[in-house]
Amino acid sequence: MNFNTKVIHGGQHHESATGSVNVPVFLTSTFAQKSPGVHSGYEYSRAANPTRQALEDSLASIENGARGLAFGSGLAAIDCVLKLLNPGDEVIAVDDLYGGTYRMFTRLFEKYQLKFTFVNFDDASKIADVVTDKTKLIWVETPTNPLMKLVDIKAVVEIAKGKDILVAVDNTFATPYLQRPIDLGADIVMHSATKYLGGHSDVIAGALIAKDAELGEKLHFIQFASGGILGPHDSYLVLRGIKTLALRVQRHSENGMAVAKYLESHPAVDKVIYPGLESHPQYDLAKSQMKDFGGMVSFTFKSGKKEDAIKFLEKVKVFTLAESLGGVESLANHPALMTHASIPAEKRAELGITDDLVRLSVGIEDAEDLIADLERAFS
């Protein structure tokens, strides 16, 4: 199947008892058995639920993986990956990292004797320089949050090859419509399914997709033993969202480009960070690794003033000032005060997450209305 067909039909089957085209929401905790240990494939919904199974099969299909798993949040999915590791293992992570991921790494898992090294992945040789015999995981975001840096997935995979190192990619911003890390050699793909996969700002969910069945089974055991599963109703919502993923992300990308070009020409704007602009330092990588460039745009003010960013964000009307991203509606965010507040100020400054940085999640409204809203907010 091609991608537009996969999001609707990939891994999916009509419900066997009734022929229902849509998978029912199986609101059950347990399942009847014919004899002790003899059942229809379902015993207890923490282990497996038919609605969640349908979503997990869809996730595996659209990312070209062997096993999909659905979690109660994106952070629950990341937590599952880290539980593959043992005390003393080392993780190399991209330095421009979602604030919740950074918080989990440094404030939760460091105390269990995991070591985290944060590196600028612009140059793959910098990763190779810090790999040791204790390195067991390389954690990638591309594009990164919120500075829209790109990571060459193939180059990272090449560094890990033959070294017993897993490569995991947070593919939340790009989605499998724009980028499929498993096809580029990654072992695990993670999504905050709250964002583009769900697509309607009405569910909190996470996802993992494993490249091979053996790794998928290890992750499933951790999910089952830890219990961070996604409930059946939320699974239904994400599965429904996936069916329109291709249409939505194409529109997000078209509007993202229009907004980025507008911002690049605005006299109050200093820097626009969008992979689809030729001014982006990794524009060539974006063209080679991604199908299109998505709906996430960040920018700074020529004044460099935090007050100008706050004033702008207080005046938007079509854009909504809110956390999160990836929904059909456009959102605006101040990373330093909102999504990345958990990162220490000195670390934010080192990365370039300045107090005048604004991150936009460009929705699927009419681009003309979005640009008019931005123009009013600048005035």
d(CA 99, CA 341): 7
> Considering all CA atoms of the chain, what is the largest pairwise distance in Å, rounded to the nearest integer?
73
Asked about 98 being catalytic, the answer comes back as yes
> Which are the contacts of 192, defined by CB distance < 8 A and separation ≥ 6?
73, 74, 77, 170, 172, 205, 206, 326
- State the catalytic residue, choosing from 6, 52, 98, 248: 98
What tokens does 228 get? 């961070």
CA distances from 171 to 8, 207, 337 (A): 20, 10, 24
For residue 358, report the phi and psi dihedrals to the nearest 5 degrees.
Answer: -120, 135
Number of Cβ atoms within 10 Å of the Cβ of 115: 16
Q: Using alpha carbons, list the distances in angstroms from residue 264 to 10, 277, 371.
A: 39, 9, 12
> Which one from 170, 234, 308, 355 is the annotated catalytic residue?
170
- Helix axis angle, 367-378 to 306-315, nearest 10°: 130
Asked whether 179 and 171 are in contact (CB, 8 A), the reply is: yes
Q: Are 145 and 173 in contact (CB under 8 A)?
A: yes
**Share of the chain residues as helix, strand and coil, in percent rounded to the nearest 5:** 40, 15, 45
**Catalytic residue status for 46:** yes
- For residue 206, which amino acid is it? G
Which of 67, 136, 180, 195 is flagged as catalytic? 195
Q: Provide the β-strand partners of residue 298.
A: 273, 359
Name, in order, each residue with C-beta under 8 angstroms of 257's C-beta and a sequence gap of 6 or more: 274, 276, 293
Residue 213 in contact with residue 78, Cβ under 8 Å?
no
Active-site annotation holder among 46, 240, 261, 306: 46
Stretch (H or E) spanning 118: strand 115-119
Q: What is the dihedral of CA 216, 221, 224, 225, to 10 degrees?
A: -150
Q: Which active-site residues does the annotation give?
A: 46, 98, 170, 195
